[in-house]
Amino acid sequence: MRGFAASAGPSPWTDLDRPPLDAAALRRDLVAPGGLWTALDVVAETGSTNSDLAERARAGAPQGAVLVAEAQRAGRGRLERQWTAPARSGLFLSVLLRPEQVPVERYGWLPILVGVSAASTLGRIAGVEVGLKWPNDLQVEIDGTERKVGGILTELGGGAVVAGLGLNVSLRADELPVPTAGSLALAGAAVTDRSILLRALLREFAELYGEWTEAAGDPHASELLRAYVDRCTTLGRQVKVHLPGDRELVGEAVAIDGDGRLVVRTADGARRAVGAGDVVHVRPEPR
């Protein structure tokens, strides 16, 4: 009688609330001739899906490759912040894009496109209202407080864009890395099955990406700007923007311009467009 081989590590089925993703089933559903997605791989663990996919891009990988990790050791957000979470507790993925019909100066809309796709999907499938904090944070409300459930990081190189998304799905309160973090489960999501969410998210993104590229990346013609403004939690708020060079800008966030920049109106009435910076939503002073 043949025995079972010894396991190289803990079984992914140890936590039955967090089953592993089925890569073969995902490929059957998402990778099809003529579609955006050309390859889909799921790895048990890696340093960073963005870094791995960027390496494939440099080697000439075609548009539409998707890489998903059950766990990341060195997941990165903006400003090189680390993104860590227990294995299979979220969606940690990157996609490879080559939007050749879009001018490079419009590539900055891609993280916004990822955010709109994610917020739309989660509202429709999970029943959770997700807001988008400029430039690339996904937020939900938990016990009356805004919490970050996801982040987006895009990187450009070699004519390709690698767009990464980290999304907390099933994290419990005692697993949150910081008090300002949250998860879909803690926000009362109706669906936390990662397979369902991933399928829906990639399909939504493919549809919106197609509309955006057909419009040559024009945020007005593709209606991407309108969709983002509708979900942006930063607009209409008092903000403090930490700018490069240890500078700071304080005022009201009043608009998103045609280049995806945040327009801040300062106390003297002047308007300044910010293309990069770390935004803090300032709470109103108590009356």
Please state the domain extents for the chain.
23-231, 238-281
pLDDT for 246:
87
Segment-wise mean pLDDT, segments of 10 residues, the chain, 287 residues: 41 72 98 98 96 95 97 64 81 97 95 98 98 96 96 90 97 94 98 98 98 98 98 97 91 96 97 92 67
Whole-angstrom distance, CA of residue 72 vs CA of residue 53: 13
Strand-strand pairing, 65-69 and 39-43:
parallel
Place of tokens 């009435």: 269
Closest CA to 50 of 75, 87, 85, 71: 75
For residue 133, report the phi and psi dihedrals to the nearest 5 degrees. Answer: -85, 125
pLDDT for 112:
97
Closest CA to 133 of 154, 113, 148, 117: 148
Please give the single-letter amino acid code of residue 148. K
Q: Which residues contact 166 (CB under 8 A, 6 or more apart)?
A: 72, 75, 77, 83, 85, 90, 91, 92, 150, 151
Q: Which residues contact 140 (CB under 8 A, 6 or more apart)?
A: 128, 129, 130, 131, 146, 147, 149, 182, 184, 187
DSSP code for 237: S
Closest CA to 264 of 180, 150, 154, 276: 276
pLDDT for 1:
36
For domain 23-231, give its CATH number from 3.30.930.10, 3.40.50.10070, 3.40.50.2000, 3.40.50.720. 3.30.930.10
pLDDT for 16:
72
pLDDT for 86:
93
Whole-angstrom distance, CA of residue 224 vs CA of residue 116: 8
Place of tokens 């990346």: 217
Cut 0.95: pTM above it: no
The fold of the 238-281 domain, in CATH, is SH3 type barrels. (2.30.30)
Any idea how long the chain is? 287
Whole-angstrom distance, CA of residue 150 vs CA of residue 166: 5
pLDDT for 280:
93
